[in-house]
Amino acid sequence: MLKRASVLLVAACFLFAALGAAIKVASEALPSEEIVFFRNAFGLLALMPLVLRNGFGSLKTKYILQHLYRGVFGLAAMYCSFYAIGRMRLADALLLSYTSPLFMPFFAHFSLGEKIPSGLAWFLSLGFLGVLLILKPGLGLFQPVACLALASGVLAAMALVGIRRLTLTEPTVRIVFYFSLFSTLISAAPLAGRWVSPSAPLWLFLAGMGACASVGQLCLTRAYGLAPASQIGPFIYATVVFAGLWDWFLWGQLPDGLGVLGAACVVAAGVLIIYKIGDAPRSTESVSSRAGTA
């Protein structure tokens, strides 16, 4: 189970990094609102074969409001992340979006009743130091758009809390389906004033983005269903490594020294927090340590 979960999670990381690179390329021709819509719409279409195979009865749920909660915060995180990806180095944008482990202990405490493990403050401090090194405030290198990438990490943490609750009762396909459905419906609203007709090749490109997103989410959700986050969660940062390779291969961009140090701090803090929370005792009201991404 552990080996299979690890392979699934690394596969999800590769797909998410490829999705990020595709978003950055598409941002040169399309507004981010349109890219968000197509990512969700084509992702929903990519899920339909699984839905049809299982039957529409498999989508029946008693937790529609919890699915909506996850969808709203996940979509908000997506808007922030996609906008930032189109305007800064891909690896930095994704790393700031993956700061959710720094915020999740607080949301899980207030929403799920999970205790915040003792000693966690040291790991959180290390993570936030890393964020400061990536943002570089006061050094003349600060990019205001990076704050949106960081905001996506906060919003993703809130969405993760919703996923943790849903995984207790809902199967993988149902969770991803309702996220794609709500995200598609909500993201269609802003298109009226922002529509740009994609070229023929770009249509295929957008369809591929949706497929990568849905398959990646299925792999990730299934991975966390097979093994606890304390054992496989650190693999999620492989996304940043893959993104750095895309930065170098497609745009010839390499991180600066402060960025590398900041990334190391954030990743180290994220890994330590995942292990710390995974080893912490749970209250009877809390859920298991399974999680996912927005």
- Pick 218 or 58 by higher pLDDT: 58
pLDDT at 74: 92
DSSP letter (8 states) at residue 117? P
**Cα 228–Cα 234–Cα 236 angle in degrees, nearest 5:** 100
Structural domain contains residue 51: yes
pLDDT at 91: 92
Has residue 287 been placed in a domain?
A: no
| pLDDT reading at 283 higher than 70 | no
64-68, 179-183, 211-215: segment of lowest average pLDDT: 211-215
Task: Report, as an integer, the average pLDDT of 183-193.
Answer: 91
What is the distance between the alpha carbons of residues 134 and 96, in angstroms, rounded to a whole number? 8
Question: What is the number of alpha carbons within 13 Å of residue 54 lying toward its C-beta?
Answer: 14
Q: Is residue 186 situated within a structural domain? A: yes
Q: What was the pLDDT predicted at 284?
A: 27
**DSSP SS3 for 168:** coil
How would residue 17 be classed by pLDDT, with cut points 50, 70 and 90? very high
Distance (Å, whole) CA 233 – CA 228: 8
- pTM for the predicted model, two decimal places: 0.83
Contact status, residue 126 vs residue 269, Cβ threshold 8 Å: yes
Examine residue 68 and state whether it is found in any structural domain, yes or no.
yes
> Is 154 among the domain residues?
yes
Number of domains in the chain: 1
Give the total residue count for the chain: 294
And the tokens for 175? 């969770």
Q: What whole-number distance in Å separates Cα of residue 57 and Cα of residue 32?
A: 34
Identify the pLDDT of residue 118: 75
Contact 130, 237 (CB under 8 A): no
Which of 29-43, 113-127, 224-238, 277-291 shows the lowest per-residue confidence on average (mean pLDDT)?
A: 277-291
Percent of the chain with pLDDT over 90: 39
* Number of CB atoms found within 10 A of residue 103's CB: 20
Rounded to a whole number of angstroms, the distance between the first and last alpha carbons of the chain is 24
Mean pLDDT within 91-97: 91
Q: Is residue 40 domain-resident?
A: yes
Q: Is residue 199 part of a domain?
A: yes
pLDDT at 90: 93
* Predicted local distance difference test score (pLDDT) of residue 292: 33
Q: Compute CA distances 285 → 141, 212, 221, 226, 288, whole Å.
A: 45, 35, 22, 21, 10
Domain range holding 247? 2-279
Q: Is 292 a member of any domain? A: no
Q: What is the per-residue pLDDT for 289?
A: 31
pLDDT (average), residues 251-276: 86
